[in-house]
Structure 1
Amino acid sequence: MDRRRHLGRRPMPMTFQAHNIKIPNIYEHASGTVLAIAGKDFVVIGCDTGVCSDNAILSRTQTKLCPISDQMVLATAGCWSDAVALTNQLKMEQQFYEREHFKSMSIESMAQMLSVVQYQRRHLPYDVCPILGGIDQDGQGAVYIYDCIGLLQREGYCAEGSAGAMLQPLLDSQIGCHETVTKERALSIAKDALIMAARSDQYTGDLVIINIITRDGIELHQMELSQN
């Protein structure tokens, strides 16, 4: 072979096979299920406590409910790191408001604040399904739901998370056809719905934590679920 031709060749680029390297997913879902039911003067908002990653169980005791004030709770399902970042930001905004105005932010204002926070992150949105529940300025129960860029809507009840699509028809049949629902009835429906979710959804399980929000504060209920 001609030595000049051999020396003039460009070296072949080196390629690396990375078949065994797993690229981390920044939007890895921790799954789980959250729901909320608004009544005349109360809100029942609940969640399971399982946190999963693929087939690994990361925690069995992690609540997805975050009290923002004595009459307001945020429930989040989806990417757990995004849920923590979002709830921390809302708690910080609530603290700034209390220092400046010497009172807690109303749920109407917090609902708009949450919408603005999500819209500001529209290019890299929080991958969560938030439900904001609490007592409004008229003393009525209020539940707000959102899409990924902050479009908000007030509803009487809602279910989100890995079993949300399965539980929403149940809530429609149990609550949607009735004009009013009592606090005891709403609590019973929430417990039954989360039990059904634990039996049918592998990402829902371990414990049920339910907060009942009234003008007097937040009442805590807890119940064991089957471990998946």
Structure 2
Amino acid sequence: MSSVQTTVASEYSSEIQTVPIEHRFNPYSDNGGTVLGIAGEDFAVLAGDTRQVEGYSIQSRYESKIHDVGDDILMTANGFAADGVALIDRFKQSLIWYKFDNNGKKLAIKSAARYIQQLLYGKRFFPYYVSTLIAGLDEEGKGAVYSYDPVGSYEREQCRAGGAAASLIMPFLDNQVNFKNQFVPGTDGKEKKPLKFLTLEEVIQLVRDAFTSAGESIYMLVMD
């Protein structure tokens, strides 16, 4: 932040006063939106709403946040739309060079997760202002979802929500996917419901229910 000394005359006084004029620039903007990812036994789902906003203005109702970037990898970078586009384009370009350098070899989801971590960490002093998720199948054919913070910290999870309505959707996913606070009927809340993978049909219905109160419309991609 910088300041410039200037002189102004008040309409209520003939005296000349010296006051600082401050200049500031915010390089980021929050374009809203919500995304979520769920990993199944042999599939992974990435979904997000299609509305892009800035303040009280709706810029688009049909802007997808979910991208098939290649090599059976789904990706979303939700938050500041320009940063999201830049990050996804960088990763797509890196995939092209990887296949060129490795005779068309497919990039594993685990390796992709690590590389995106390096992209985000490399911008840590001027970070991409986005909530990033990727989804795909691992080497064993099991669903995988990786979530990131803006500076590259990441982990593999069963489910994750990000964006404006994440605080509403994540407790719902914790209950319905991770079975938190779910108990076997007839045990008076003493026996926890055992964890199990949901079917693809159950996950799709779950995504629809999650976005019913959190989004105007949804766009969903499934990798199986």
TM-score bracket, normalised by the shorter chain, equals 0.7 to 0.9
Task: State the match for 1:208 in structure 2.
Answer: 218
- Is residue 44–residue 223 contact of structure 2 (8 Å, CA) maintained in 1? yes
* Gap change, CA 1:13 and 1:147, over 3 Å in 2: closer
State the 1:104 CA deviation: 2.4
Structure 1 93/55 Cα, relative in aligned 2: closer, same or farther at 3 Å? same
Aligned to 1:35: 36
Residue 79 of structure 2 corresponds to residue 78 of structure 1: yes
State the partner residue of 2:134: 132
The Cα of 1:164 is off from its aligned counterpart by 0.6
Instruction: Give the residue type in structure 2 aligned to 1:123.
Output: F
Give the one of 178, 184, 200 matched to 1:183. Answer: 200
Q: Which residue of 2 aligns with 1:220?
A: none
1:120 aligned residue:
122
1:163-182 alignment runs, 5 A limit: 163-177=165-179, 178-182=195-199
Provide the C-alpha distance between the structure 2 equivalents of 1:24 and 1:51, rounded to a whole number of angstroms. Answer: 22
Deviation at 1:89, TM superposition (A): 0.4
Work out the percentage of aligned pairs sharing the same amino acid. Answer: 30
Runs of 4+ aligned residues of structure 1 deviating over 6 Å after TM superposition are: 16-19
| Structure 2 CA distance for aligned equivalents of residues 49 and 40 of structure 1 | 27
**Count of matched residue positions in the alignment of Structure 1 and Structure 2:** 195
C-alpha distance 151-14 of structure 1, shift in aligned 2 (>3 A): same
Q: Give structure 1 stretches of 5+ with no counterpart.
A: 1-11, 199-204, 215-228
TM-score calculated relative to the size of structure 2? 0.82
* CA distance, structure 2, for counterparts of residue 124 and residue 24 of structure 1: 14
Partner of 2:159: 157
Q: Deviations over 1:68-126 (max 9, x none)?
A: 11511101210011001100000001010111111221111110000000000011110
Deviations 1:14-65 (A, max 9, x none): 359999xx96632101010000100011011100000000001111111001
Report the 3-state secondary structure (helix = DSSP H, G, I; strand = E; otherwise coil) of the residue aligned with 1:25. coil
Contact 2:49/2:218 (8 A) holds in 1: yes
Distance 1:76 1:192, change over 3 A: same
Deviates more, 1:89-98 or 1:23-32: 23-32
In structure 1, how many angstroms separate the alpha carbons of the residues matched to 2:45 and 2:170? 15
Query: What is the TM-score of this pair, normalised by structure 1?
Result: 0.80
Task: Give the root-mean-square deviation of aligned CA atoms.
Answer: 2.1
